[in-house]
Amino acid sequence: MTIFQETYTLENGVKIPKLALGTWLMDNKGAEEAVKNAISIGYRHIDTAQAYGNEQGVGEGVRCSGIDRSEIFVTSKVAAEHKSYESAMASIDESLRTMGFEYIDLMLIHSPQPWADVNQSDNRYKEENKEVWRAMEDALKAGKVRAIGISNFLREDVENLMESCTVKPMVNQLLAHITNTPFELIDYCREQNIVVEAYSPVAHGEALKNQEIVQMAEKYSVSPARLCMKYDLQLGLVVLPKTENPLHMKENADMDFVISDEDMDILKNLDHIKDYGESSFFPVFGGKM
């Protein structure tokens, strides 16, 4: 079995592939080409978002891939600025129109806070997020989406939804990579049967410059990028590497090696990358970093 065939099972029985192609910072044309290339290589999970502005390209790439739509798992995200039932539901309908799909496999709330407030405000938009989640539940019941989840949600944000939800979040997509892994939050999600996805597994490129990571990769005769992917996979996470380069797509999918328990412990405890600043765009997760 290749990594492309490996899946986790969400709480409602939907199977989600462990490896996805991320499309952040791609325009429509780039996303279309990247998706077609990825699917031809074997990828069956594509990750996009309303905020990326490339849902149209992703949809076109899936349609032009020659693979049946039912075999491709597509994730999108309700933009962080939508904080009402009405705007969230309208945005899901718009995503369906933009991609040209009858359904989206997984829809996430992109952030509990609008991006302008991330790391800048203590307001967690608790009541607003409950309304957005209600829209997500209704979209699920209507068959517009097959599964629903969240992204960048801290434990308090998840617990807030749990107070009134009729369907629990099935996924939480988080920034998680070597030197910055929110272990306590991951453990909590696992206790709640919430699958965790890891975006930016190479730390926005900074992990590839880290000499301890480079040396560990040399030990296994793999690239630093592959080591980073495998680290997240061995933690039991869905991993979402982003690339438009077909050669890198193939390399990222070559996971035919195992990091020893001893080396995993070393990687888990590496110092935080010194020159990796906490961007205001990405939430700071608490717990061990």
Q: Work out whether strand 45-47 and strand 195-199 pair parallel, antiparallel, or are unpaired.
A: unpaired
- Per-residue H/E/C for 221-233: CCCHHHHHHHHHH
CA distance 283 to 273: 16
Q: How far is CA 179 from the centre of its chain?
A: 18
Bridge partners of 224, per DSSP, are: none
- Return all residues near 106 (Cβ < 8 A) that are at least 6 apart: 14, 16, 73, 74, 75, 76, 145, 146, 147, 148, 149, 170, 171
CA distance 212 to 218: 10
CA distance 271 to 257: 24
Half-sphere exposure of 109 (CA within 13 A, CB side): 36
Q: Quick check: is 276 catalytic?
A: no
Q: Which of 52, 125, 188, 199 is catalytic?
A: 52
CA distance 92 to 96: 6
Contact assessment for residue 76 and residue 50, using Cβ atoms and an 8 Å cutoff: yes
Contact assessment for residue 65 and residue 72, using Cβ atoms and an 8 Å cutoff: yes
Residues classed as catalytic: 52
